[in-house]
Amino acid sequence: MAQLIQEKEYLYWLSQIPSVGAVTIKRLWDRYGSFEKIYNIEEKELRKEKLLKGRIGAGFDQWKGHVEEILETYRSLEEKGIHYVTFLDEGYPERLRPLYGSPAGLYVKGKLPEEHRPSAAVVGARSCSHYGKETAKFLASSLAGAGVQVVSGMALGIDGAGHQGALEAGGDTYGVLGCGVDICYPQSHFSMYMEIPEKGGIISEYSPGVSPEARNFPMRNRIISGLSDVVIVVEAREKSGSLITADCGLEQGKEIFAVPGRITDSLSRGCNELIRQGAGIVTSPEDILDFFQIQMNKKLRVDEKNENGLAKNEKMVYSCLDLQPKFIDRVVEESGLSLGECLTLLLELELKGRIVQTTSCYYAKKL
H helices of the chain, in order, are 7-15, 22-32, 35-40, 43-48, 60-64, 67-76, 130-145, 158-168, 190-199, 216-227, 241-251, 269-276, 285-292, 312-318, 328-335, 339-352
Interface residue with other proteins among 188, 211, 283, 306 (CB under 8 A) is 188
Q: Which is nearer to other proteins, 132 or 145 (CB)?
A: 132
CB of 333 to other proteins, least distance (A): 8
181-to-94, 120, 167 alpha-carbon distances in Å: 21, 21, 19
Which string of DSSP letters, residue by residue, matches 106-163? EEEEE-PPPSSS-EEEEE--SS--HHHHHHHHHHHHHHHHTTPEEEE---TTHHHHHH
Contacts with other proteins, 134-163, as mask; x by CB under 8 A: ----------------------x-------
Q: DSSP secondary-structure letter at 298?
A: S
Cα 351–Cα 356–Cα 357 angle in degrees, nearest 5: 105
* Candidates 79-87, 145-153, 163-171, 332-340; binding stretch for other proteins (CB under 8 A): 332-340
Closest by CA position to 144, among listed 162, 123, 131: 162
CB of 55 to other proteins, least distance (A): 33
Interface residue with other proteins among 5, 292, 361, 366 (CB under 8 A) is 361
Interface residue with other proteins among 4, 30, 253, 264 (CB under 8 A) is 264
Measured distance CA(98)–CA(30) in Å, rounded: 14
CB of 327 to other proteins, least distance (A): 4
* Candidates 16-24, 55-63, 212-220, 359-367; binding stretch for other proteins (CB under 8 A): 359-367
Could you give the strand order of the β-sheet that contains 201-204, starting from the edge strand earlier in sequence? Answer: 82-86, 105-110, 201-204, 173-176, 149-152, 119-123, 230-233, 255-258, 280-281
Interface residue with other proteins among 83, 109, 130, 254 (CB under 8 A) is 130
Rule CB under 8 A: say whether 124 interacts with other proteins: no
Q: Which is nearer to other proteins, 264 or 295 (CB)?
A: 264
Give the alpha-carbon dihedral of 135, 138, 142, 147, to 10 degrees: 90
103-to-23, 47, 228, 241 alpha-carbon distances in Å: 8, 23, 15, 20
Rule CB under 8 A: say whether 325 interacts with other proteins: yes
Interface residue with other proteins among 247, 265, 287, 334 (CB under 8 A) is 265
Rule CB under 8 A: say whether 330 interacts with other proteins: yes
Measured distance CA(222)–CA(251) in Å, rounded: 10
Q: Which is nearer to other proteins, 76 or 188 (CB)?
A: 188
CB of 267 to other proteins, least distance (A): 6
Measured distance CA(151)–CA(58) in Å, rounded: 35
* Candidates 16-24, 210-218, 238-246, 339-347; binding stretch for other proteins (CB under 8 A): 339-347
Q: DSSP secondary-structure letter at 4?
A: P
Interface residue with other proteins among 332, 337, 349, 355 (CB under 8 A) is 332
CB of 196 to other proteins, least distance (A): 20
Q: Which is nearer to other proteins, 87 or 131 (CB)?
A: 131
Query: Helix, strand or coil for residue 182?
Result: coil
Total number of residues that touch other proteins (CB under 8 A): 33
CB of 240 to other proteins, least distance (A): 12
Q: Which is nearer to other proteins, 190 or 327 (CB)?
A: 327
Q: Give contact residues for other proteins (rule: CB under 8 A).
A: 126-130, 132, 156, 188, 264-267, 325, 327-330, 332-333, 339-341, 343-344, 346-348, 351, 358-362
